[in-house]
Amino acid sequence: MSFDPRSTPVDRRAEQELEARGLRYRQVDPSDQAAFDAWSQADARGFHHPRPREVDLVHERRVFADRLVRGVYDPASATPAIPIATVSSWPTGLSVPGGRSLDAWAVSSVTVAPTHRRRGIARSLMQAELRDAASAGAAIAMLTATEATIYGRYGYAPATRMATVRVDRRRAHWIGADAPGRVHLVDPASLRELAPQLVRRAVSRTPGEIDRWPALLDRVLGLVDPESERSRSIRAVRYDDERGETQGFATYRVVRDPDRPGVLESDFIAAATDDAERAIWRVFCEIDFVDEVRVQLRSVDEPLPWLLEDARAVRFDDVGDHLWLRVLDPVAALSGRRFGGAGTLRLEVDDPLGFAGGAFELDASTDGRAEVRRVEGADAPGSVPVGGSRRSRQPHGLRLGVRELGSMLLGGVRATTLARAGRVVEHSRGSLALADRLFSSDREPALTIWF
């Protein structure tokens, strides 16, 4: 999707719903400094962040300059210029199995003030976002959820998991293969020019990753407020392969009490090759005067335990869901990924909101490419096709909800697991086994940022 999301008109249905409650739903222009700064105050308040400083507001204006920013206002509130609810969104790419990118609609900044709960405000906002995403041609909508019980009612479901990887540095003895290149300690600012292209390559390797925006890299590299204590504590390593080409980098900082070993903390590793990933982990595990390595937002399938003599030196803590997907166009969503082999599978999808419901036939070839089409009438699951090239027996098929389809899309959960939970129904014997094979992914899906 290549267009300016700010050209999307305010959803009329949501506008009318909120107006009936005495509220105003309107678009916020990030170039309108006063209006956007008030919106940013509400966004920070909703996530219990400190009131933003001017340097933070300058950064936020850059982040949201190309996004669709909306607010809900209460003219009767004590501060009518500050919205009582916020949301932002933008079109972006989502990495899917096979190294391809799917057109997606990212939703963020969803807040409702505690003074305005239980009034249907979030429902109006979230359903408007789905209509905006569908109108823009997005195959899916997606978000990262701070609350796990809110978004299922709109058809979202968890599709990736995350973990905090903790390493007992004192027990970490490296036995993994040496990377053929070299790791350099570098000034974080020196990475700014090469980071976007390198991150794009790194993102394409793992299903569930999304496109990074420039202002995110500025934060990671400590360039938003360079003189702050946190920015000055950021260190960076860069991995160059045996040809001298950069294949990865990471940022970290060490926090510690005076005269005591510290904790190495990192929340950003960008590795375009396995060699780069191993080399960065080795540096982290071998830094002196550190008792623990703590890396956030990592895959639950991290290979690190297999690189150390004592695998128990590694713990995976805070394991939980992270990226949530909402399928809007099953044909586009399924056609966009590669599958784990050949086979034909029909999916009968239930969607109470009406975006993705229907019956669909997925016909995958041996190279994992699939043709997907909507089927109706005599072609629907449970019928018996007749004549020509169609089978004369009932094909393999499943009945499932749009939430289950979203969870399966990247390969993060098996159809058999969902069936054991009573959330997927098998039309004919062997359908679940076929679905498990088709929807498998070579890499565990993961998202290594918040948005």
To the question of whether residue 146 is assigned a binding role by annotation, the answer is: yes
Closest by CA position to 153, among listed 133, 176, 124:
124
Rounded alpha-carbon distances, angstroms, from residue 446 to 1, 85, 244, 268: 23, 29, 29, 13
- Tell whether residue 6 is among the known ligand binding residues: no
CB distance 292 to 169 below 8 Å: yes
Residue 120 annotated as part of some ligand binding site: yes
Predicted structure pTM score:
0.95
Instruction: Show which residues are catalytic.
Output: 151, 451
Could you tell me the CA-to-CA distances from 198 to 127, 222, 246 in Å, in that order?
A: 35, 18, 8
DSSP bridge partners of 265: 253, 294
Q: Is 205 annotated as a binding residue?
A: no
pLDDT in tens, 175-218: 999 999 999 999 999 999 999 999 999 999 999 999 999 999 99
d(CA 141, CA 144): 11
Domains, the chain: 5-138 (3.40.630.30), 163-321 (3.40.630.30), 330-438 (3.30.1050.10)
Residue 122 marked ligand-binding? yes
Residues 197 and 86: beta-carbon distance below 8 Å: no
Q: Is 171 within any annotated ligand binding site?
A: no
The answer to whether the annotation marks 423 as part of a ligand binding site is: no
pLDDT digits (tens, 9 = 90+) for 97-132: 999 999 999 999 999 999 999 999 999 999 999 999
Look at the block and give the residue holding tokens 């890499």. Answer: 443
343 annotated ligand binder: no
21 among the known binding-site residues? no
pLDDT in tens, the chain (451 residues): 777 898 999 999 999 999 999 999 999 999 999 999 999 999 999 999 999 999 999 999 999 999 999 999 999 999 999 999 999 999 999 999 999 999 999 999 999 999 999 999 999 999 999 999 999 999 999 999 999 999 999 999 999 999 999 999 999 999 999 999 999 999 999 999 999 999 999 999 999 999 999 999 999 999 999 999 999 999 999 999 999 999 999 999 999 999 899 999 999 999 999 999 999 999 999 999 999 999 999 999 999 999 999 999 999 999 999 999 999 999 999 999 999 999 999 999 999 999 999 999 999 999 999 999 999 864 544 443 433 444 445 679 999 999 999 999 999 999 999 999 999 999 999 999 999 999 999 999 999 999 9
Residue position matching structure tokens 């420039």: 214
Contact 307, 281 (CB under 8 A): yes
